[in-house]
Structure 1
Amino acid sequence: MSPAEPVNADVIIIGAGFGGCYLLKLLRDAGFSVKVFEAGYGLGGIWSWNRYPGARVDCETPFYGYSDPKLWSTWFWPERFPDDKTLREYFSHVDSVWKLSKDVYLETRVTAASFIDDKEQPYWEVQTADGQLHKCTWLVPATGTSFKQYIPTWNGLKSYKGIIAHSSLWPREGVEIEGKRVAVIGAGSTGVQFTQDGSKVAKTLTQFIRTPNTALPMGQRKISREEILSNRDKYGHLFKACRGTAFGLPTEGLTFGTFDVSAEEREAIWNELWDRGGFNWSIGGFPDTIISKEANRAAYDFWVKKTRARIRDPKKRDLLAPLEPPYYLGTKRPSLEQDYYEAIDQEHVEITNSPIVEFTETGIKTEDGKVHEFDVIAVCTGYDAVTGGLRTMGIKGRGGVDLDEYWNDGIRTHLGMMIHNYPNLYMIYGPQAPASFTNGPPFLEMQGEWIRDVICKQREQKIPVLEAKKDAETAWAKGISELANGTLAIHTNSWYMGGNVPGKKREFLLYLGGLQEWNRACQNALSDWQDFEVTRGSESVKL
């Protein structure tokens, strides 16, 4: 629950997901007073919220977890890709080992945060939904990329009399869908997962899509206790290896292009990677797939051949796996599926790409004139991803400038963690960082350790406030754009580009250079401090 009295701490962290929990531990161990404000009901960030049927992570264990031996040596993952319930249990285990709860306030939503440029001791004033004002020297928003839901403004939405919920706000007590007429709106990862599981119990299920999902085989399987024990001696090496790869997983991409080998060799390579499951086929494949239109088309042709073979219904086959690519492969985050195409192929499951015209009291009317009636509607339309949560939190920097206003003409950060004119503010899993292009936990550990090192250096050198230089911010944004412009990703209206939310500025929101290059830039910045400045009032102080 919310604190009984206003908090006065060295650091306030907003969000108790993987990043917030890890940074809490690091900074506490370094001797700082730290408190975490979490809007949800428990630790785990998005996994405290995700409770819809079929919810599970798409990064495999043990790598989707912390590298601390005290945690993995006393925990057993039951599956290669764990579900939401298992992940909540994992965070309970983390809490029991790291003793986090004593410094975490649950059901505590931050509604505003302002930098107070006090001459004696600058600080952040943080307001929570109960009206209390809290104080800290350093503020760390750790809300992640998937905090603010995106729900389209459909006509007649309020007239619908059945049960409707966004997937990330699924009722904690659950929704009965067995024997019900169910709608799933959306074809992203959530829509795929919901359709797979929901189709097994629903009387009828209809999935509404705009474009098909180029989903990849998950390769899900159970993991025995014996297998885990026999591999634990390798875990330390594997976690270390994750940090040395581009994507935070111990998977290395090929070092040669799509057409540098014969057609037979290419097919054999693709088949082998496909059979491994997970993201092995995508991130472990040919590096020119995301750069060359010809290579991308060759990869799509392989994907479509594999996928169409699993769908018997010709109409559904053409909707889900069209012979002509609906977008460049890999320019939207690929979802991992277990039996999605078989689920859709069932007679009681329907799929439509006819746009929604309006909601009625009993269901949905589509542009093709059909009126569909439902008992339950699952809204799986995703998020105002990467920036939405930060821009609507009421974060005001020097001079009272709201972050939403500061980013109005484009996102500006340095290293994806600091912002000019927002002193002593450090973002975790935010824009212009590798974030969604990595396996979260290894990347978040690296971010947390960097932020700890910067704050410790401030304390040692008695630097009251620190922020990124404007020039450093401009250079970082230019680099983000140049990296993206060298790929096919800019040609697709994905959430990477902000293209899923009407009116959102179209710009590439994430760092595409890989985890290693990003970390190299971070360590260089930490070593010479040339990208940072201390400002007192209007005076800039050289470090």
Structure 2
Amino acid sequence: MSPDRTEIGMSTDRTENGMGTDRTENGMGTENTAEEFDAIVVGAGFSGIYMVHRLREMGLTVRAFEAADGVGGTWFWNRYPGARCDCISMEYAYTFSPELIEEWEWTERYPAQPEILRYLNFAADRLDVKKHFRFRTRVDSARFDDHTDRWTITTDSGDVAVAKYFVTAVGCLSTSQTPDFPGLNNFRGATYHTADWPREGVDFTGKRVGVIGTGSSGVQVIPLVAEQAEKLTVFQRTPAFSLDCGNRPLTEDEKREFKENIETFKATSKTTPSGQYTDTLEVGALDHSPEERWAVYEERWNRHRAIDLIAAYPDLFTNREANETIAEFFRSKIRAVVQDPELAEHLSPRTYPLGAKRITLDTNYFQTFNRENVELVSLREAPLEEFTDKGIRAGGTEHELDAVILATGFDAITGPLLKMDISGVGGETLREKWQDGPVTYLGIAVDGFPNMFMLTGPGSPNVLTNVVCAIEQHVEWTADCIERLEQRGARRFEALEPYTHDWTELNNELAKGTLYPEGNSWYTGANVPGKPRVIMSYVGGLNTYREICDAVAAEGYRGFAIK
């Protein structure tokens, strides 16, 4: 198609949507009677809220479904003690609305879960989108009708909705992962998962508590539980590279300066690989002397931002020898605060490059292991054998426990999509399509699944960026695309198979030039037994990705069939 926008220049005739005469947005028909909408959105986190807002701005009818009883996405469910974002608060927010920027005041440099949830409720109320959501409703299936070019969505509440467009805004970290631990059901104590924490909280005072997992949620929850519990036993599968976040209240000057310079931040977020500004030296890590490198790392350590460290030199994530220099710097920080040298070594990662697993941000995580009531069990030396009725047996020793916290992470990126039974042309399911790993075009679309848009899907930059910046780019690209399709009177928008193949191959080739494949992390699906091990993010940078998506649109949506 020509890049001339007038070619996609579109009619206002709404009969194409096959809508009934009842246009009431909220009114349901009789039980099991399908309601018809222009678009259906699944999810009420950052992406779902913004997507519904943009679709409504275009005058389209929208039904959105959310399993929780309110907005928030992952920040609704992850209420565990210590839950905190690892992106600076003022940068972890919408930039599209001057009103949202001006009216909201963050209180901390790294916001905790309650504040992020308050922010998302504020944004949803200010944008007036909650009325379009059906909460406490989980989507069971989504099926494309090849004859009508419509999606039919069914839910666990018995709702049936039909729409032309199906948009998944389900997030990347919203499907929790619990390994199949032997005997888990035998344990007579309480079990909690960090991704589904009781809203009323949990009091561990006087309890013997076990925590399995030392990823992002583990390093955040462990210090606070240690302050309550009579004894805390940490079952560590893989040590974490973690950076003390140095959290503190924001000053009035910081808040004012950020708002005054919001346009500069917005421009930066569009022209940097991570959506965040950092300065990268022009020489490689190995070009500096050990003393010079150490000084660079020390200065950046005190900035309390992971991106400033991993991006200090251009070769830190492409050269294993260079990476080892910063990995050893991190290990030195562990040795500096953990009093027992043997324990410090158990807590020091040595089996993967720094950054190949998520670099976590913590508050006094390593210092917690100096407490007399905290014990580390390294499952590499003492493998977990089984849960018993009294606790956990590992390495031949039974650890008696009153409660166990599963900080075992997520079936990331593809998990939330495959949890729904999605079927496209000819009845082929998304699970069948992705049996060897996800294949997408731009991380947005899949051939054989017309009129379906994935926000931050596999093959997009998603979790390797400031994810809110990635979400805004995805929502805006998708909304612009739908608007042009509607103006043109198009019925069907579908990725072409050669383009999904080539995009997936490009992602794989780019990843091979990095250290990500060495991480065995949720970035590659290695944390889920049987899940194909492929990089599930575009590693070429959000800025390059944005340029590619813009070029695809400018060229009449190259790689898509439009009917």
Aligned residue for 1:511, secondary structure, equals coil
Letter in 1 for 2:377: T
Letter in 1 for 2:359: P
Select the residue among 122, 127, 132 that pairs with 1:93.
Answer: 122
Q: Corresponding residue for 1:305?
A: 332
Aligned residue for 1:371, secondary structure, equals strand
1:480-499 paired onto structure 2 within 5 Å: 480-499=507-526
Letter in 2 for 1:278: R
Letter in 1 for 2:386: E
Select the residue among 186, 189, 203 that pairs with 2:216.
Answer: 189
Aligned: 1:432 with 2:442:
no
The list of structure 1 runs, each at least 4 consecutive aligned residues, that deviate by more than 4 angstroms after superposition, is none
CA positional deviation for 1:230:
4.6
Aligned residue for 1:171, secondary structure, equals coil
Q: Count matched residues.
A: 529
Aligned residue for 2:302, secondary structure, equals helix
Letter in 2 for 1:108: T
CA positional deviation for 1:254:
3.0
| In structure 2, distance between residues paired with 1:95 and 1:492 | 37
Q: For structure 1, which segment, 23-32 or 254-263, has the greater mean C-alpha deviation from structure 2 after superposition?
A: 254-263
Aligned residue for 1:206, secondary structure, equals strand
Aligned: 1:530 with 2:555:
no
1:352-391 paired onto structure 2 within 5 Å: 352-353=377-378, 354-366=382-394, 368-391=395-418
CA contact (8 A) 2:167 2:452 kept: yes
Q: Corresponding residue for 1:78?
A: 107
Aligned: 1:160 with 2:187:
yes
Q: Corresponding residue for 2:320?
A: 293
Select the residue among 267, 273, 276 that pairs with 1:240.
Answer: 267
Distance 1:280 1:147, change over 3 A: closer
1:44-83 paired onto structure 2 within 5 Å: 44-67=72-95, 68-83=97-112
Aligned residue for 1:125, secondary structure, equals strand
CA contact (8 A) 1:274 1:280 kept: no
Q: Corresponding residue for 2:366?
A: 341
Letter in 1 for 2:106: W
Q: Corresponding residue for 1:331?
A: 356
Aligned: 1:16 with 2:44:
yes
Aligned residue for 2:163, secondary structure, equals strand
CA positional deviation for 1:433:
0.7
CA contact (8 A) 1:182 1:375 kept: yes
Aligned: 1:228 with 2:230:
no
Q: Corresponding residue for 1:318?
A: 345
Instruction: Kindly provide the CA deviation profile for residues 492-516 of structure 1, in whole angstroms up to 9, marking residues without a partner as x.
Output: 2111111111111111111100001
CA contact (8 A) 1:76 1:225 kept: no
CA positional deviation for 1:380:
0.7
CA positional deviation for 1:104:
1.2
1:127-276 paired onto structure 2 within 5 Å: 127-225=154-252, 227-276=254-303
Aligned residue for 1:496, secondary structure, equals coil
Select the residue among 544, 551, 554 that pairs with 1:517.
Answer: 544
| In structure 2, distance between residues paired with 1:33 and 1:416 | 25
CA positional deviation for 1:226:
5.1
Aligned residue for 1:467, secondary structure, equals strand
CA positional deviation for 1:198:
1.1
Q: For structure 1, which segment, 19-28 or 239-248, has the greater mean C-alpha deviation from structure 2 after superposition?
A: 239-248
CA positional deviation for 1:3:
7.2
Q: Corresponding residue for 1:396?
A: 423
Q: Corresponding residue for 2:64?
A: 36
1:398-413 paired onto structure 2 within 5 Å: 398-413=425-440
Instruction: Kindly provide the CA deviation profile for residues 217-240 of structure 1, in whole angstroms up to 9, marking residues without a partner as x.
Output: 212111134542354211232133
Letter in 1 for 2:360: S
| In structure 1, distance between residues paired with 2:53 and 2:210 | 42
Letter in 2 for 1:519: R
In the superposition, the TM-score normalised over structure 2's length comes to: 0.91
Instruction: Kindly provide the CA deviation profile for residues 95-120 of structure 1, in whole angstroms up to 9, marking residues without a partner as x.
Output: 221111111111110000000122xx
Q: Corresponding residue for 1:446?
A: 473
Letter in 2 for 1:29: E
Q: Corresponding residue for 2:528?
A: 501
CA contact (8 A) 1:12 1:140 kept: yes
Where does structure 1 lack aligned partners over 5 or more consecutive residues?
Answer: 535-540
Q: Corresponding residue for 2:10?
A: none
| In structure 2, distance between residues paired with 1:503 and 1:59 | 31
| In structure 1, distance between residues paired with 2:278 and 2:47 | 22
CA positional deviation for 1:489:
1.5
Q: For structure 1, which segment, 254-263 or 287-296, has the greater mean C-alpha deviation from structure 2 after superposition?
A: 254-263
| In structure 2, distance between residues paired with 1:331 and 1:520 | 26
CA contact (8 A) 2:310 2:316 kept: no
CA contact (8 A) 2:270 2:546 kept: no
Instruction: Kindly provide the CA deviation profile for residues 315-356 of structure 1, in whole angstroms up to 9, marking residues without a partner as x.
Output: 32111026xx22111110110112100012211111111222
Distance 1:160 1:109, change over 3 A: same
Q: Corresponding residue for 1:538?
A: none
Instruction: Kindly provide the CA deviation profile for residues 417-437 of structure 1, in whole angstroms up to 9, marking residues without a partner as x.
Output: 001010000001211110010
In the superposition, the TM-score normalised over structure 1's length comes to: 0.95
- Coordinate RMSD, CA, aligned: 1.5
Letter in 2 for 1:39: A
Letter in 2 for 1:237: T
Aligned residue for 1:73, secondary structure, equals helix
Identity score, percent:
36
Q: Corresponding residue for 1:457?
A: 484
CA positional deviation for 1:518:
0.7
CA positional deviation for 1:173:
1.6
Aligned residue for 2:143, secondary structure, equals strand
Aligned residue for 2:316, secondary structure, equals helix
Letter in 2 for 1:84: Q
| In structure 2, distance between residues paired with 1:280 and 1:142 | 26
Q: For structure 1, which segment, 265-274 or 9-18, has the greater mean C-alpha deviation from structure 2 after superposition?
A: 265-274
Q: Corresponding residue for 1:537?
A: none
